[in-house]
């Protein structure tokens, strides 16, 4: 099972060029461009899912706060990139987020509210930063930011609730979540290694 998952995840992660060819400029308008940008790029989608899984493993109050903190942070990150472009280490933080979040899910780590919020905010801002679109101006830019923020809200809400439900359900639920966390951490290591060598 693990081998199969690795087989399809690894090439996708290791080909960022192909992942970048997502539907950024389709006719669906800037809102949809913003919405689809992170959803069609595995280097964003996977850590977001990992954060949602981790959120589901926390207590309900902590998980609830992430629904607000993470999308707002992502939106702020996109705006920050527009105001102060060229921060190179955002990509490194994003690569690290793969591993860190994956490991935290794998060990089913429960974090205090403040620490989980800090994690969600940092990851939100750096991933939002990486999702900025330089060629969108004016009202289109507002729609684009709204789209990326909406994507963050959808992933964190649906993912956290699913994880929470699964973790609180049958015994295999927690095991499955932790297994997914270990895969994400492993893929994150490969991705980080790939980035380091290129």
Partner 1 sequence: MMSDARLHIAIILLAALLLPNVCWSHETPIALLEVRETPNGSYLAHWTYSSSTNMQPPTAVFPAHCSFDEPRLDCGERGLIGQLSFERLGKSYSAVVVRISRIDQAAQSFTLTGAQPSVALTPDGKLPLSQVMASYVPLGIEHILLGIDHLLFVLGLMVLVTGVRSLIETITAFTIAHSLTLAAATFGWIGVPEASVNAAIALSIVIVAVEILRERQGERSLTGRFPWAVAFGFGLLHGFGFASALTDIGLPQENVPAALLFFNVGVEIGQIGFVLLVLALVWSHRRLKALLPTWSESVGIYAMGTLASFWFVGRIFNMVITKVAI
| Positions in the binding site for partner 1 (CB under 8 A) | 25-29, 32, 60, 63-64, 67, 154, 157-158, 160-162, 164-165
3-state percent helix, strand, coil for the chain, nearest multiple of 5: 80, 0, 20
Among candidate residues 63, 59, 44, 78, the one with its CA nearest the CA of residue 156: 63
Contacting residues for 28 by C-beta, under 8 A, at least 6 apart: 36
Least gap, CB of 66 to partner 1 (angstroms): 9
* Cβ distance to partner 1 smaller for residue 48 or 129: 48
- Residue 32 or 194: the one with the smaller Cβ distance to partner 1 is 32
Cβ nearer to partner 1, comparing 56 with 188: 56
Q: Which is nearer to partner 1, 167 or 187 (CB)?
A: 167
Please report how close the Cβ of residue 67 comes to partner 1 at its closest, in angstroms. Answer: 6
- Where are the strands (E) in 81-169, listed by range? none
Q: Within 10 A of 79 (CB to CB), how many other CB atoms are there?
A: 19
CB of 40 to partner 1, least distance (A): 14
Closer residue to partner 1 in complex, CB, 63/99: 63
- Based on CB atoms, which residue is closest to partner 1, 29 or 170? 29
Minimal distance, residue 3 CB to partner 1, in Å: 31
The nearest distance, CB 61 to partner 1, in angstroms, is: 9
Residue 72 C-beta: closest distance to partner 1, Å: 14
How far is CA 124 from each of CA 21, 113, 153, 198, rounded to the nearest angstrom? 22, 16, 11, 25
Query: Whose CA is closest to 111, among 126, 125, 123?
Result: 123
Rounded Cα–Cα distance for residues 145 and 55 (Å): 23
């Amino acid at each position: 099972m693990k081998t199969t998952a690795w087989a399809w995840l690894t090439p996708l992660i290791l080909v960022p060029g192909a992942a970048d060819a997502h539907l950024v400029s389709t006719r669906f308008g800037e809102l949809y461009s913003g919405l689809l940008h992170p959803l069609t790029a595995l280097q964003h989608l996977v850590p977001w899912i990992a954060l949602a899984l981790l959120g589901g493993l926390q207590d309900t109050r902590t998980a609830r706060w992430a629904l607000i903190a993470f999308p707002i942070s992502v939106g702020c990150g996109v705006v920050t990139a527009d105001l102060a472009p060229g921060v190179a280490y955002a990509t490194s933080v994003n690569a690290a987020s793969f591993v860190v979040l994956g490991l935290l899910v794998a060990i089913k780590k429960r974090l205090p509210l403040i620490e989980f919020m800090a994690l969600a905010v940092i990851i939100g801002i750096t991933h939002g930063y990486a999702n900025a679109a330089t060629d969108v101006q004016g009202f289109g830019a507002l729609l684009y930011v709204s789209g990326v923020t909406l994507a963050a809200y959808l992933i964190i809400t649906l993912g956290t609730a699913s994880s929470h439900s699964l973790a609180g359900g049958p015994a295999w639920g927690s095991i499955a979540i932790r297994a997914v966390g270990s895969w994400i951490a492993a893929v994150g290591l490969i991705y980080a290694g790939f980035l380091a060598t290129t």
